[in-house]
Amino acid sequence: MAETVSMERARTLALPKVKIDDGFWSYYISLVRGTVVPYQWEALNDRVEGAEPSGAVRNFKIAAGLEEGDFYGFVFQDSDVAKWLEAVGYLLAAQPDPDLEAVADGMIDLVAAAQHENGYLNTYFTIRKPGEQWTNLMDCHELYCAGHMIEAGVAYYKATGKRKLLDVVIRFADYIDTVFGNEPGKLRGYDGHQEIELALVKLYETTGDRKYLNLSRFFIDQRGTEPNFLVQEADSRNRVSHWGFTHGKNIDLAYFQAHEPVREQQQAVGHAVRFAYMLSGMIDVAAETGDGELLAACRRLWDNMTERQMYITGGIGSMAQGEAFSFDYDLPNDTVYAETCASIGLVFAAQRMLRLEPDAKYADALERALYNTVVGGMSRDGKHFFYVNPLEVDPKACGGKNKKYDHVKPVRQEWFGCACCPPNVARLLASLGSYVYTAKDDAVYAHLYVGGEAELELGGTAVTLVQQSDYPWSGDVRFEVKPEQAATFKLCLRLPDWSPSASIRVNGTDFSYQTEKGYAVIERTWQQGDTVELALEMPIMRIRSNPLVRGNAGKVALQRGPLVYCLEQADNGADLHLLLLPQEAELKARRAEELLDGIVVIEAEGLRENAKAWGSSLYSTAGRPAAEPERLTFIPYYAWANRGEGEMTVWVREG
């Protein structure tokens, strides 16, 4: 039996308490509010011309008996509606919007109407497979969809105080609790796609009902134990998968992280989104139950993921087959998967570790994923999305030319038949405010540098924290601290891993700070109007990967602040692999207001190998191709593929 230890978690700030007013993020949040969420509502209702239909809303109408027809879409189509509702909840929490709320209320009515008498809720099984509930947990995402609806119910309740959806998911969760568990007659199963684990902890935190925490812990502990539930279940279906194929002798249980008990797992394996969601739920359960053994597994898996299997962009998942992790130091740039949703899952896990132990390494990874893969997953117009986020693209190779790139799209797509990523981006960005700070006892931790105002209780008084900066373009961040009454507490500022040095001034005077796990700690008695100026050095960094990363041997990448940079064809012409960045090249950051809504570009005198002089031979004893000077322009990775189709690369050969 695992030792039980006390683990008090830091609190996140409720969304109404954090107003974002930020040069970088306000654009995206407005985009989510003004474009992404309305656009996705159109998509969910099959009204986006040229995009693949979703069927998601209609499925609820059919399941509720309000329309005739067949289920349409993937078996997990319900989750798109749930994620949309969750995003709406976050938007409403930050800012009232009666029109949007009315639309969401209408959708919630549909969801409630589709719920069965006993609490069950899933349009696929209701329409297509009545009576076959809980017979294919491996493939059919029933508990996954339930988890997303629970998250939506919690978010919408917190935002609006309206209980309708919360009551729906409570009834559903209560019903699930009668179906699954260790007790005789219950299914000792778990979902093929983790998600309900973290959702149930949210429901526990919201309702205070420990039953949901216990159920989450059951799902986590049951996973991967022998006899293996997923194998037994598959056998009972003659190993025929929902997806049409038949499993052979060996079912790929690692894909589902069900190959061994989760506490014993040593490495991040399998489907990356499943893994990251599982890890998030594991951290929640470890923290809420004081489970030191489970926490040790979380730390081990987190470290493996971020120190051995994470792309410099914060992407995870090195292979398309299974959208999955591969193995330590295997980080191919062109055949990569790096699903947007997986990086969002990494953000979820990071935040949960930060609530448990404020260590900047978690926030560093969170920031890396957020500023590169997550925001890069969406176009500047908010209507196009990447599912896969490659670090090297040659459009000539895509579109079936070399089929190993069939999963890689060189431009963002309108809406996916499997549309997990767009609503996931929406719900994350809509709730970004809750990722900026955590507070615990008499300390507030600033994990992210995002401008705006936050209200919280510290040192026995209400405090308003005002943050201002030009981040991520500059490392100068200013805080104004406004306690209602003078109070003593700690302001802990994250010192990012990319900044070689940081100085802090309090009320204009240099402040000599202590560092704790990557946070500068400023402890004093604060007065209304005190100011803190954090100056993070933000040099252009030439990054190399660990020499064991085969695909990056001899290559460098540029990073400045949290932003990873890339070369795009739009700035540098085609055949980017011919470009070299000499070791001694001077790298200059330049503010380019005209470009991509204003970015900082990095320019350098590079070289281009002359392919034309080579002639037509395929192999030759000719010497190294002559390299001629060429000005290289790097743009932030998140901004790529906003200017048509072209090549892109993050890693560049060093001359």
Q: Any contact of residue 263 with a copy of itself (CB under 8 A)?
A: no
Among the residue ranges 75-83, 154-162, 235-243, 540-548, the one whose residues contact a copy of itself (CB under 8 A): 540-548
Best CA proximity match to 565, nearest among 644, 451, 473? 473
Q: How many CB atoms lie within 10 A of CB 182?
A: 9
Distance, in Å, from the CA atom of 468 to the CA atom of 572, rounded to the nearest integer, reads: 34
In this structure, the number of other CB atoms found within 10 A of the CB of residue 211 comes to 14
User: Which residue in 6, 243, 584, 619 binds a copy of itself (CB under 8 A)?
Assistant: 619
Of the candidates 145, 420, 421, 492, the residue annotated as catalytic is 420
* Minimum separation from the CB atom of position 623 to a copy of itself (A): 8
Residues 6+ apart with CB under 8 A from 307: none
Contact call for residue 308 and a copy of itself (CB under 8 A): yes
Residues, the chain: 655
Residue 481 parent element (H or E): strand 476-483
Cβ 600 to a copy of itself, closest distance in Å?
A: 18
CB of 149 to a copy of itself, least distance (A): 33
- Of 567-596, binders to a copy of itself (CB under 8 A) are 575, 577-578, 583
Rank residues 467 and 649 by Cβ distance to a copy of itself and give the closer one. 649
Say how many C-beta atoms besides its own lie within 10 A of residue 279's C-beta.
29
Query: Is 584 an annotated catalytic residue?
Result: no
Non-local (6+) Cβ contacts of 488 within 8 A are 442, 459, 523, 524, 525, 526
For a copy of itself, which is the closer residue by CB, 131 or 615?
615
* CB 319 to a copy of itself: min, Å: 5
Cβ(347)–Cβ(369) under 8 Å?
A: yes
Q: Which residue among 151, 323, 533, 647 is the active-site one?
A: 323
∠ CA(398), CA(400), CA(401), 5° rounding? 70
For residues 84 and 44, the answer to whether their CB atoms sit within 8 Å is yes
Contact 116, 162 (CB under 8 A): no
What tokens appear for 303 in the block? 């470290």
Residue with Cβ nearer a copy of itself (13 or 557): 557
Check residue 403 for interaction with a copy of itself (CB under 8 A): yes
Instruction: Looking at residues 622 to 641 of the shown chain, list those that interact with a copy of itself (rule: CB under 8 A).
Output: 622-625
Contacts of a copy of itself in 279-298 (CB under 8 A): none
Residue whose structure tokens are 């985009």: 31
163, 210, 401, 591: which one contacts a copy of itself (CB under 8 A)? 401
Binding-site string for a copy of itself from residue 376 to residue 395, where x marks contact by CB under 8 A and - marks none: ------------------x-
Q: Does 501 bind a copy of itself (CB under 8 A)?
A: no
Residue 577 CA to residue 394 CA, distance in Å, equals 10
Q: Is 654 in the site for a copy of itself (CB under 8 A)?
A: yes
Q: Does 550 bind a copy of itself (CB under 8 A)?
A: yes
Give the shortest CB-442-to-a copy of itself separation in angstroms: 33
- Alpha-carbon torsion (653, 322, 151, 49), positive or negative: positive
Of the candidates 4, 178, 321, 515, which one interacts with a copy of itself according to CB under 8 A? 321
C-beta of 154 vs 607, nearer to a copy of itself:
607
**Residue 296 or 574 having the CB closest to a copy of itself:** 574
Q: Looking at beta carbons only, is 149 or 557 nearer to a copy of itself?
A: 557
Based on its alpha-carbon atoms, the radius of gyration of the chain, rounded to whole angstroms, reads: 25
CA gap 117, 542 in Å, rounded:
60
* Total Cβ atoms within 10 A of residue 499: 18
Report if residue 549 touches a copy of itself, rule: CB under 8 A: yes
The two tokens of residue 223 are 């996973």
In the complex, minimum distance from the CB of residue 76 to a copy of itself, in angstroms, rounded to a whole number:
22
- How many Cα neighbours within 13 Å face the side chain of 405? 20
Considering only 22, 139, 291, 609, the residue that binds a copy of itself (CB under 8 A) is 609
Give the single-character DSSP code of 36.
I
Closest contact distance (angstroms) between CB of 371 and a copy of itself is 15
Q: Does residue 53 bind a copy of itself (CB under 8 A)?
A: no
Q: Of these, 307, 441, 484, 510, which contacts a copy of itself (CB under 8 A)?
A: 307
Which span (75-83, 211-219, 322-330, 442-450) binds a copy of itself, by CB under 8 A?
322-330
| Least distance to a copy of itself, CB of residue 565, Å | 13
Q: Which residues contact 228 (CB under 8 A, 6 or more apart)?
A: 253, 258
Query: Residue 256 is encoded by which pair of tokens?
Result: 């589902």
Contact by Cβ (8 Å): 356, 8? no
Tokens, residue 322: 């299974």
Does 306 bind a copy of itself (CB under 8 A)? Our answer is yes
Q: Does 23 bind a copy of itself (CB under 8 A)?
A: no
Is residue 397 close enough to count as binding a copy of itself by CB under 8 A? yes
Regarding 406 and contact with a copy of itself (CB under 8 A), the answer is yes
Tokens of 578: 């011919």
- Of 396, 588, 591, 631, the one binding a copy of itself (CB under 8 A) is 396
Calpha distance 21→466 (Å, rounded): 10
| Interatomic CA distance for residues 183 and 187, integer angstroms | 8
Give yes or no for a contact between 123 and 194, defined as CB atoms under 8 angstroms apart: no
Binding status of residue 545 toward a copy of itself by CB under 8 A: yes
Q: Which of 485, 507, 515, 610 binds a copy of itself (CB under 8 A)?
A: 610
H or E segment at 452?
A: strand 452-458
Tokens matching residue 589: 């950051």
Any contact of residue 113 with a copy of itself (CB under 8 A)? no
Q: Judged by CB under 8 A, which of 614, 628, 629, 644 binds a copy of itself?
A: 614
Annotated active-site residue 226? The verdict is no
Residue 229, token pair as written in the block? 């539930």
In 270-399, where do the E strands start and end? 392-393
Position among 402, 464, 488, 503 found at the interface with a copy of itself (CB under 8 A): 402
CA 113 to chain CA centroid, Å, is 31
Interface residue with a copy of itself, options 317, 332, 475, 518 (CB under 8 A): 332
Rank residues 6 and 616 by Cβ distance to a copy of itself and give the closer one: 616
User: Binding residues for a copy of itself, per CB under 8 A?
Assistant: 306-308, 310, 312, 318-322, 324, 326-327, 330, 332, 335, 394, 396-397, 401-404, 406, 541-550, 553-554, 557, 575, 577-578, 583, 609-611, 614, 616-625, 653-654
Give me the active site residues, please: 323, 420
